[in-house]
Amino acid sequence: PGTKLPAVGTTIFTVMSALATEHGAVNLGQGFPDFGCDPKLLDAVTAAMAAGHNQYPPMTGVPLLRERIAAKIEALYGRHYDAGSEITVTAGATQAIITAILALVRPGDEVIVLEPCYDSYVPNIELAGGVVVRVPLVPGSFRPDFGRIAAALSPRTRAVLINTPHNPSGTVWTAEEMRQLEELLAPTDVFVISDEVYEHMVYDGALHQSVARFPGLAARSLIVSSFGKTYHVTGWKVGYVAAPAVLTAEFRKVHQFNVFTVNTPMQHALAHYMADAAPYVDLPAFYQRKRDLFAEGLARTRLRLLPSEGSYFQCVDISAVSDLSEADFCQWLTREIGVAAIPLSAFYGDGFDQRVVRFCYAKRDETLRDALTRLAKL
């Protein structure tokens, strides 16, 4: 029978986590914290359940949570989104992204992705019947190349997917880069799906440049974020989409049949917690210290560090250490050295190999030290 996604196997994150478990390796592959969340957040879940919040919530999300999300966006990025008509709670960013794509992309529409990109984008576009137009970020720096994005735009372009802070490279777009995108799209009807799941993880005093800050972008954008990253609860799978009412209406048409609603007690817990806890204020310092601890150790190896301006990923060039392909190197590193990593080739449609692999540093200090002890051989 004809398969819908002939090129797709099991995601690299699942594959590498399984390999790490099999070999007792320190798992710096799949991106997730190995530490717990604030106990107050857990108490809020049991309190929500005890208070009877166990049936379907409203299709668009628990109202108080949508209000708190809107307040946060306004406080940080200066744009008002109406909690009733412009914010939708989703089952993590993964569901938000596929739902946004299914809502916007019609068969034959072109969608621009900037490679390397998160592994769900391309199959999502293909499931919608769209045509994937791959544009590379600048090799080496992973910055947007506006000449190439401009050249990729066509009358059939329906949407552009962007992601800052960027997974896997850790690049953070500057305000100037956002303005360039705004200017480039000004004469078009192209939509933007802006994956901002790492919005609160930006280091060295830089600011996250949400599309919400740029009127010409905000008007055409669906902003995607995830509580999993911000509150150290990736397994909860709760996120949201913020978009102008006309776009939100289209999004919700698909959302209601795609997931309908998102688990109730977690939404109440997050709403309650967000009233007085804004952990994103401390998050940059928290993760910047981990980034620096890990980078200091790596600097003593022959791995060459690339900048990690944001996200919780550190990329390294392996060429001084090994002649293996990225994928083979990650297998070898997991089996023989006992540290799991992710090959960047997994983020390219054609498997492009530039001898770079990604580590996740959202780990306890002792986990990072254990990994560094093992990596010291390199």
Q: Residue 30, interface with ligand GLN (CB under 6 A)?
A: yes
Q: What is the DSSP letter of 311?
A: T
Question: Could you say which of 15, 17, 20, 31 contacts ligand PMP (CB under 6 A)?
Answer: 31
Size, binding site for ligand GLN by CB under 6 A: 5
Q: Are 104 and 250 in contact (CB under 8 A)?
A: yes
Question: Could you say which of 29, 57, 228, 310 contacts ligand PMP (CB under 6 A)?
Answer: 228
Closer to ligand PMP by Cβ: residue 114 or 321: 114
Q: Residue 169, interface with ligand GLN (CB under 6 A)?
A: no
Closer to ligand PMP by Cβ: residue 118 or 359: 118
Shortest Å distance, C-beta 214 to ligand GLN: 25
Q: How many CB atoms lie within 10 A of CB 61?
A: 24
Which entry of ligand PMP, ligand GLN, none binds 163, CB below 5 to 8 A by partner kind? ligand PMP
Residues 6+ apart with CB under 8 A from 208: 76, 164, 165, 172, 196, 199, 200, 202, 310
Q: Residue 31, interface with ligand GLN (CB under 6 A)?
A: yes
Cα 259 from Cα 110, distance rounded (Å): 26
- Please compute, for residue 315, the number of CA atoms within 13 A of its CA located in the half-sphere on the CB side: 27
Give φ, ψ of 161 to 5 degrees. -100, 125
Q: Residue 11, interface with ligand GLN (CB under 6 A)?
A: yes
Which residues are registered as beta bridge partners of 221?
192
**Tokens read off for 259:** 């997931």
Q: Residue 354, interface with ligand GLN (CB under 6 A)?
A: no
Closer to ligand GLN by Cβ: residue 30 or 171: 30
Which entry of ligand GLN, ligand PMP, none binds 11, CB below 5 to 8 A by partner kind? ligand GLN
Task: Tell me the per-residue interface mask from 110 to 149 with ligand PMP, x by CB under 6 A, - otherwise.
Answer: --------x-------------------------------
Specify the amino acid at residue 16: M
Q: Which ranges of 191-282 does DSSP label H, i.e. alpha helix?
A: 215-218, 227-230, 245-258, 264-276
Looking at 66-74, 88-96, 257-265, 333-341, which segment touches ligand PMP (CB under 6 A)? 88-96
Q: Residue 234, interface with ligand PMP (CB under 6 A)?
A: yes
Cα 127 from Cα 190, distance rounded (Å): 20
Q: Are 340 and 16 in contact (CB under 8 A)?
A: yes
Residues 6+ apart with CB under 8 A from 180: 144, 146
Cα 320 from Cα 118, distance rounded (Å): 27
Task: Tell me the per-residue interface mask from 263 to 292 with ligand PMP, x by CB under 6 A, - otherwise.
Answer: ------------------------------
Give the footprint of ligand PMP on residues 178-197 (CB under 6 A). Answer: 195, 197
Q: Residue 230, interface with ligand GLN (CB under 6 A)?
A: no
Which residues are registered as beta bridge partners of 161?
113, 193
Q: Are 162 and 133 in contact (CB under 8 A)?
A: no
Which entry of ligand PMP, ligand GLN, none binds 195, CB below 5 to 8 A by partner kind? ligand PMP
Residue whose beta carbon is closest to ligand PMP: 92
Q: Residue 33, interface with ligand PMP (CB under 6 A)?
A: no
Where do contacts with ligand GLN occur on this chain (CB under 6 A)? Answer: 11, 13, 30-31, 167
